[in-house]
Amino acid sequence: MKNDDVLRRLKTVQGHLGGVIRMVEEDAYCIDVIRQIQAVEAALNKVSAKILEDHLNSCVITAIQGSDKKERERVLKEISEVFEMSTKV
C-alpha cells in the first residue's frame, strides 16, 4: 500500500474518531457511540491488514529468499509477534 493511500485512510479514520468524540460530548445514545467506535476499529483493522499484506509481499519475501538465516528468523519472529499482540488486544 502506498503511503498516500495509508494516510488517506488514516485521515478518514481520524475524521470518524472526531465524530465519535463529538457524540460523547453531546451525550449521544450509548449504542450509537459503540457502533461508531466499532466502525473506527474496523477501518483501522483494514488499514493494518493492508500494511501487513504489503509487508509480507515485500520485506518478508525478500528476507525469505535471501541467504541471511538470522534475517529470515527475525522477520518471521516479527510476524509471529504481530499476530500474538492482535490476540491480546
Q: What is the pLDDT of residue 1?
A: 52
Q: State pTM to two decimals.
A: 0.81
Looking at residue 68, which CATH number applies to its domain? 1.20.58.1000
By C-alpha distance, which of 50, 40, 45 is closest to 14?
Answer: 40
pLDDT single digits (tens) 55-88: 999 989 999 899 999 999 999 999 999 989 888 7
Q: What value does the mean pLDDT of the chain take?
A: 92
**Domains of the chain: total:** 1
Structural domain for 52, as ranges = 3-88
C-alpha span between 80 and 75 (Å, rounded)? 9
